[in-house]
Structure 1
């Protein structure tokens, strides 16, 4: 079981990305991911942070990455774990879970 907290960062925006019309909003994806991770990895600490790409706040690396999402026309939300992009546009739980498992998380 993992005792080291990993931060999952979800970069998104209030407005849906133009290519993501039928998908949930970035905020809905953030809430869905948070609930799914808590269910899959109970009693294992994790931190999930939402960063609005148009009004980013936080550490400089988060500000820089938010700018990169806009400049590179990435599909958002973009999900990042330990500086690795694990989801873009419509993130897959299987991919997010696999990355967390690489960091010592044990799923149920």
Structure 2
């Protein structure tokens, strides 16, 4: 799976207007990273927190809010021990159905 097009990124950004600036940054950070075939972004929370400029605890708390808002979903088949990986949800991708991209 490839990253989103410019138009898709702009649409995603517009659709997150109801989120806080920190939450929007997290959604856009996930959108900017090349996902695995499953749609998952295989970066740890600590790595993503560092990229975003937030401490790990603040990042994790805000990411939970983004998950609750329906913009990120866990990808169970990518889980490694206690480490969970997340993907943009169908809602974030502007899909009517609830399916994630099929793994290649």
TM-score normalized by the length of structure 2: 0.26
Q: Highest Rg: 1 or 2?
A: 1
Higher helix share: 2
If asked which structure has higher relative contact order (CA below 8 Å, sep 6+), I would say 1
Higher strand share: 1
